[in-house]
């Protein structure tokens, strides 16, 4: 198959500065609502990019679980590869890849751990099977086979029985505090529309249009 000849035109519509909210978080909320209403698969899925202690960049999809002026929240095992990378280098990047809408949002910022109280509040809303999985998986560590993983989950089920499952001490949330948020809208003939918000020293946001 010849991949170099595969292309299409982007015709979903343009993006102008007049369409953008002065607050980038509010603009993210607007596009998120539109992505959800468009019935996209995993509209809250975002690609998290990190760099580990060896300088190796890594990417993986995590789910947005909270959005506010403070930043973008997600949850994970604190022993995972992504958590170790964040501990080494907290500067990260997020990407919302809404190809069906010919849109992207790229966020650059610093990831910081959320409080145990915030993480516990969310953990207690998770389905019971997800709570069990959080306990059972030693995320990013090698395992012999699927059967071993399933046995670990069964051991956790037996341990807690029908009782409440507490949040593991090795699990919790991170919040990406944004310094840069870019909105990309596909345009005809590869003349895409790009606008970037940058956080100024005094806390306000500056908007600038970029060439595609």
Known catalytic residues? 190
Nearest to 156 by CA among 136, 129, 128, 172: 136
Handedness of CA 49, 70, 32, 116 (dihedral sign): positive
Residue 79, classed as helix, strand or coil, is coil
Separation CA 106–CA 182 (nearest Å): 5
Q: Which residues contact 72 (CB under 8 A, 6 or more apart)?
A: 46, 64, 66, 94, 107, 109, 175, 176, 178
Residue 121, classed as helix, strand or coil, is helix
């Amino acid at each position: 198959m010849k991949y170099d000849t595969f292309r299409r035109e982007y015709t979903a519509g343009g993006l102008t500065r007049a369409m953008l909210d002065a607050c980038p978080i509010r603009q993210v909320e607007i596009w998120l609502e539109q992505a959800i209403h468009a019935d996209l698969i995993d509209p809250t899925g975002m690609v998290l990019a990190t760099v580990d202690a060896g300088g190796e960049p890594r990417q993986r999809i995590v789910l947005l679980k909270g959005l506010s002026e403070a930043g973008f929240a997600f949850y994970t095992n604190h022993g995972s590869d992504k958590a170790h990378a964040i501990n080494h280098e907290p500067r990260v990047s997020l990407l919302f890849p809404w190809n069906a809408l010919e849109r992207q949002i790229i966020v650059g910022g610093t990831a910081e751990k959320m409080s145990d109280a915030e993480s516990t509040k969310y953990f207690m809303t998770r389905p019971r099977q997800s709570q069990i999985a959080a306990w059972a998986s030693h995320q990013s560590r090698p395992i012999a086979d699927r059967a071993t993983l399933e046995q670990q989950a069964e051991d956790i089920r037996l341990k807690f029985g029908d009782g409440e499952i507490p949040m593991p001490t090795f699990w919790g949330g991170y919040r990406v505090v944004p310094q840069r948020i870019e909105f990309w809208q596909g345009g005809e003939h590869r003349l895409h529309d790009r606008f970037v918000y940058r956080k100024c020293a005094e806390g306000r946001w500056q908007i600038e249009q970029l060439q595609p």
